[in-house]
Chain A
Amino acid sequence: MIGLIFVLLGIAALTFTLMHLAPGSPFSSERLPAAAVERINASYGLDQPLPIQFVKYIWGLLHGDFSISYKQQVGAEVRDIIFTGFANSFQLGILAFAFTIFFGLLLGVLAAVGQNTWLDYSTMTLSLAGYSIPNFVLGTLLLLFATTVLNPILPAGLQLPIGGWLQQYGPGAAILPVLVLSLRPTSVLARLTRASMLEVIRQDYIRTAWSKGLGQRVVVIRHALRNALLPVITVLGDELGNLITGSIVVEQVFVINGLGQQFVRSVQDLDYNIIMGTTIFYAFIVVLINLAVDILYAFVDPRISYTKARA
């Protein structure tokens, strides 16, 4: 736990340092007289020495105070801004994660079971291709396809919304963004699951299971897949973090008002508190996911115990 706090503090300090290294201040771009900028800085406490500002910020953070926005929505609580934006990013990330788990595992298992068949080759080649197409290219091309080809031939009620998110446009709005966001992690997961399954399938206990006369489904799912899951879980943890925190481009392409978009804007505006708040918040999520992965290990593999000292 102390490690986690250290990590979060480190990230806060790193972001804080970088942010204040950036030329200018939040108000230097507003063409105000120097005296006015000074007064504004003083009223926000930005005239104090940086270490004191940092300590004050962290102290506030420990009390749940994310401070206020200086530029984006002047005076608004950063906590509210983060939660509003994050709600959309989180829905998008979770949906993409569910898609990733389902199709990644399915394709990986199928490829492993049919090793060296056309199914295996096509899955592996496609997944490498899926891994290679950048989000923004695929998203843009799919949008193009939806507007010019798909929507004109679909009946009026079934047309895909172009941009926007669930609240305004209903579940249809999720199809393309989720597809685009999950393609890369799905490819990663499929390849990894296949590799892990291939190792497990060669084990003696799988041969035993076969020779006991168990059905294919039982052997593949209960005996092989469960044992192949350990390396998969590590990667799944990383991917969940990426999906939740890395949807910036998909948000941009599909005009979803998420936290990623908000972050890019506030970096350009040097809205200090949003930058700090978002990075710390995201880092906190990543750290939490890593913790969850560690705990999940113990469930999947009972041999792992955290009470003993780790090597």
Chain B
Amino acid sequence: MAREENQPLRDPAGVPAHDSALDESGVPARRAVPVLPTVGGDVAATANSLWSDAWLRLRRNKLAVGGAVVIVLIILVAIFADLIAPYDPAFQFGVGDVRKAGLCPASGRCSAKLLPVSSHFWLGTDSLGRDVFSRLVHGARVSISVGLISQLLIILVGVPLGLVAGYYGRWVDYLLMRVTDVMYAFPTILFAIVVLAVFGQSFLNILIAIGLTFWPPMARLVRSQVLSVREKEYVEAARAIGVKDRGIIFRHILPNILSPVIVSITFGIPFAIMTEAFLSFLGIGIPVPQPSWGSMVSDARQYMRTDPSLVIFPGLAISLTLFAFNFFGDGLRDALDPRTRK
């Protein structure tokens, strides 16, 4: 009964309770402002201003905007790889194809392998006679999907575990902390290598290896954030008016720990992309006929002196992708964390 009477007082304009909570965590400097007497409309205004404020600050950061543009372009390339790539990335052209295209020299041997840049093969062909441009374009698809899907896996595992461990504590927390202790001492790349060796080389198994390797830091991050938010007054208030655990976790705690999680994901994507490239470079990543920027660099090393472009193009592609994500992530972190504003 008392709760229903209180409801209009706290919430005259029908503003959801978590909005006031949002205001508080996002802008710690304003914590001194009393929450209760504010009019609903004001609460909503400040609540929106955290995200719109961040958006404004992000837009002003030229490097971050540049990063975002490049990311969008690369994602578009990844989505429309089939339309952009002129050939099947795994197809090995033969001498006959090259002769038909009139690329054979008038005299001497003719080969479809290691061809230079031409109107037929925009970036030439590799040591097996495959079109480098098509492989680069499809490599973007592999990299982007590894980056995005692995982060999705990490969120799905790490966030709920971190929430439960941080909120309920006890044995869940104890168990999680012991598991993450073990995983922290396990050199990450060794673990990924062992996992891939166990499950075999495939796209899905790379996702599994990356997901298994990187969920503990996410769980730990969420847990530590929950611990710092759990004892805040607004959570106590929510509990006092009888909000159930689930409501507290999802409507009061989760919105308040979002920004570090978002930042961690933005940096996690390039890290996952790099891990895939790294594993493929070692020859234990994406299985062979499929193109991956990492294995392209690795394959091309033998022909580096005579055909340096074979190393340079995939190397540039992956570096550019990682630049873009890291610059964007850096800008996003500054935008979301008002404390770094100086």
Contacts and interface: CB of A to CB of B under 8 A. Distances in A.
Interface in B177-227: 178-179, 181-182, 184-190, 193-195, 197-198, 200
Contacts of B284: 264, 267-268
Contacts of A131: 326
Interface in B249-292: 270, 274, 277-278, 281-282, 284
Among B190, B281, B318, which residue has the most Cβ atoms of chain A within 10 A?
B190
A256 interface: no
B112 interface: no
Contacts of B187: 241-242, 245-246, 279, 282-283, 286
A8 B185 contact: yes
Given A133-B322, A141-B312, A147-B305, A11 B198 contact: no
B342 to A, nearest CB: 7
A132 B270 contact: yes
Residue with the greatest number of chain A CB neighbours at <10 A, chosen from B179, B181, B187, B198: B187
Contacts of A133: 319, 322
A137 B315 contact: yes
A268 B283 CA distance: 10
Interface residues of B, number: 45
A7 B177 CA distance: 11
B322 A267 contact: no
A144 B198 contact: no
A143 B308 CA distance: 11
B186 A14 contact: yes
Interface in A124-148: 125, 128-129, 131-137, 140-141, 143-144, 147-148
Interface string B329-342: 01000000000101
B304 interface: yes
Given A128-B330, A140-B304, A248 B197 contact: no
B67 to A, nearest CB: 10
A128 B182 contact: no
Contacts of B121: none
B319 A11 contact: no
A11 B278 contact: no
Interface residues of A, number: 53
Interface stretch (B10-18, B125-133, B240-248, B294-302): B294-302
Given A134-B294, A141-B311, 19 more contacts: A6-B178, A8-B185, A10-B182, A11-B186, A22-B197, A115-B342, A128-B63, A128-B330, A132-B326, A137-B315, A141-B315, A144-B311, A198-B342, A245-B189, A264-B284, A267-B193, A267-B194, A282-B190, A286-B185
Interface of A: 3, 6-8, 10-11, 14-15, 18-19, 21-23, 115, 125, 128-129, 131-137, 140-141, 143-144, 147-148, 195, 198, 241-242, 245-246, 248-249, 252-253, 263-264, 267-268, 270, 275, 278-279, 282-283, 286-287, 290
Pick the 5 closest A-B CB pairs, nearest first.
A10-B182, A132-B322, A245-B187, A137-B315, A22-B198
Interface of B: 63, 178-179, 181-182, 184-190, 193-195, 197-198, 200, 270, 274, 277-278, 281-282, 284, 294, 297-298, 301, 304-305, 308, 311-312, 315, 318-319, 322-323, 325-327, 330, 340, 342
24 contacts: A6-B181, A8-B185, A10-B178, A11-B186, A14-B182, A18-B198, A19-B198, A128-B326, A132-B326, A136-B298, A140-B301, A140-B304, A140-B311, A141-B312, A141-B315, A143-B304, A241-B187, A245-B189, A246-B189, A264-B284, A267-B194, A282-B187, A282-B190, A286-B184
